[in-house]
Amino acid sequence: MQVLISAQHLFAEFSTLPITNGPLFAYSICRPYNTIYYVITSTTDDCNPVILTIQFSFREPAMIWNREYECMSRKKLILLQTRRLQNLVRMVYNNNDFYRKKMDGAGVKPSDIKHISDIAKLPFMTKTDMRDVYPYGLLSCDVNEIVEIHTSTGTTGKPVVDAYTKKDIEIWSEVMARTLAMGDTTAKDRVQNAYGYGLFTGGLGVHYGARKIGAMVIPISGGNTKRQLQVMKDFGTTILTCTPSYSLYLAEVGAEEGIDFSKLPLKTGLFGAEFWSENMRKEIQEKLHIKALDIYGLTEIIGPGVASECERQNLLHIFEDHFYPEIINPETGQPLPDGEKGELVFTTLTKDGTPVIRYRTRDITYLDRSKCGCGRTSVRMHRILGRTDDMLIIRGVNVFPSQIEDVLLRIEGVEPQYQLIVERRDNLDYLEVQVEVSDAVFSDEIKNLEAKEKQIEKELHEVLLISAKVKLVEPKTIARSEGGKSKRTIDKRVI
């Protein structure tokens, strides 16, 4: 059998294929067990065909967890989204003062929502809206129906609350099962979950998904790197879940400990909660001998499980039967067409505890509705390209410069002039806070200056939940803004 096959298709499938100019022909294809053999030629001449002979061996694609929803036709999906949006809007309008006021202010009634595109009539909401109604203002059900609470880190004062009913936890488990299945997780797998357990959503989100699949969960949480590596070897971990930077740190400490990762059964890593790049993916894959997939989510929406990469590693599938995405121009709020970069906005179509309508995430990306080779039909988003605000993500923790400023302003002898320097060393993030002190403090004895640094470090730790190194500097040494925004942060990380 002879089939014309595009080089692009082959390169997409097998990144190891040597670059060849001109058309390629797959001369024969057979598929015994899990192996595909391609005999590639650059000629159609069957009598004299063999220019290149290549043999590929790889596993079957990972299974699709919920074919009915993940591969739904667009027509059906739009009907489903419309019905779900109508239910959502009716529910919040009847049960929640915050939403009723917001909708009345915008002059929209539940009956105005006739189609999913009518979502554009509804007002946006922001993190500030959420904090203003802390702790229970977004609840659209009885508080006694809430079975679990998570909160965000990273804002001064009140955090954002995500409250889950039993049904919401079921939805979370479902979208996380889809995510894990994209990484080839089955009931036979062992998931080492090194995302933090607690109010952060990473730990329990992965946990619920793995439980739903029936995989073995190793709920090790973050940190304690040598123990992580021991556990990985002893329990035969096959799936690793943590931040991408932590996976590189594990690889590095593992190499120092003499671990040969190619000999371990580890096959996939599901990495997210912070920015990372294709280069970083390459490095992780090479060092850990795994396939590394990007997973995205945020506390305000559900936690991880909002969008995830499939084995094609080409854009993240949004679970849009539950989370409806839009891209807007961050300055004007106007919707942008597919392919154009802008701010990502989400509406939770099925959540009962703390439903969210048109939440402005501040994350920048674009949408792509082209078909993915994996068979899923959902819209996909590009990996996150940046943020519209000044939020930093340090070791997976969201940090706003304003939080640091708040702490500094409470401390006597400290000037409100500071600079944040973020670096990545040995694959771990480090934050240094340089802060000006008054003349009187600066001329004090060294031991008193050191004590002040320690005091600030302690107070910062209490607020940020990560360690920062504080360096006191002479008055008037930090560059002042000359009209524009002051440049508080120098992020030296090459990601």
List the beta bridge partners of residue 493. Answer: none
**DSSP H or E run through 367:** strand 367-368
> Which CB atom, from 202 or from 325, has the smaller least distance to ligand DLL?
202
Q: Which amino acid is at 384?
A: I
* Measured CA angle at 222 (ends 239, 178), to 5 deg: 40
Report the nearest approach of ligand DLL to the CB of residue 148 (Å): 15
CA dihedral sign, ordered 95, 97, 98, 100? positive
CA distance linking residue 399 with residue 241, whole number of Å:
22
CA dihedral sign, ordered 120, 123, 128, 134? negative
Nearest to 205 by CA among 319, 69, 304: 304
3-class SS of residue 345: strand
> Which CB atom, from 275 or from 418, has the smaller least distance to ligand DLL?
275
Report the nearest approach of ligand DLL to the CB of residue 229 (Å): 21
CA distance linking residue 121 with residue 315, whole number of Å:
29
Phi–psi pair at 418, nearest 5 degrees: -150, 165
Report the nearest approach of ligand DLL to the CB of residue 387 (Å): 6
> Which CB atom, from 49 or from 244, has the smaller least distance to ligand DLL?
244
130 CB-near residues (< 8 Å, 6+ apart): 138, 160, 161, 300
Report the nearest approach of ligand DLL to the CB of residue 493 (Å): 13
Report the nearest approach of ligand DLL to the CB of residue 332 (Å): 21
Nearest to 322 by CA among 356, 366, 365, 371: 356
And the tokens for 14? 């097998």
> Which CB atom, from 49 or from 202, has the smaller least distance to ligand DLL?
202
> Which CB atom, from 113 or from 176, has the smaller least distance to ligand DLL?
176
> Which CB atom, from 86 or from 193, has the smaller least distance to ligand DLL?
193
Neighbours of 418 (CB within 10 A): 22
Which residue minimizes CB distance to ligand DLL? 272
Helices (H) and strands (E) in the chain, counts: 13, 25
Residues found near ligand DLL in the complex (CB under 6 A): 152, 195, 201-202, 272-275, 294-299, 303-304, 361, 363, 383-384, 387, 393, 398
DSSP 116: G
Nearest to 17 by CA among 58, 57, 54, 59: 54
Report the nearest approach of ligand DLL to the CB of residue 105 (Å): 26
> Which CB atom, from 268 or from 398, has the smaller least distance to ligand DLL?
398
> Which CB atom, from 99 or from 296, has the smaller least distance to ligand DLL?
296
Report the nearest approach of ligand DLL to the CB of residue 396 (Å): 7
Report the nearest approach of ligand DLL to the CB of residue 297 (Å): 4
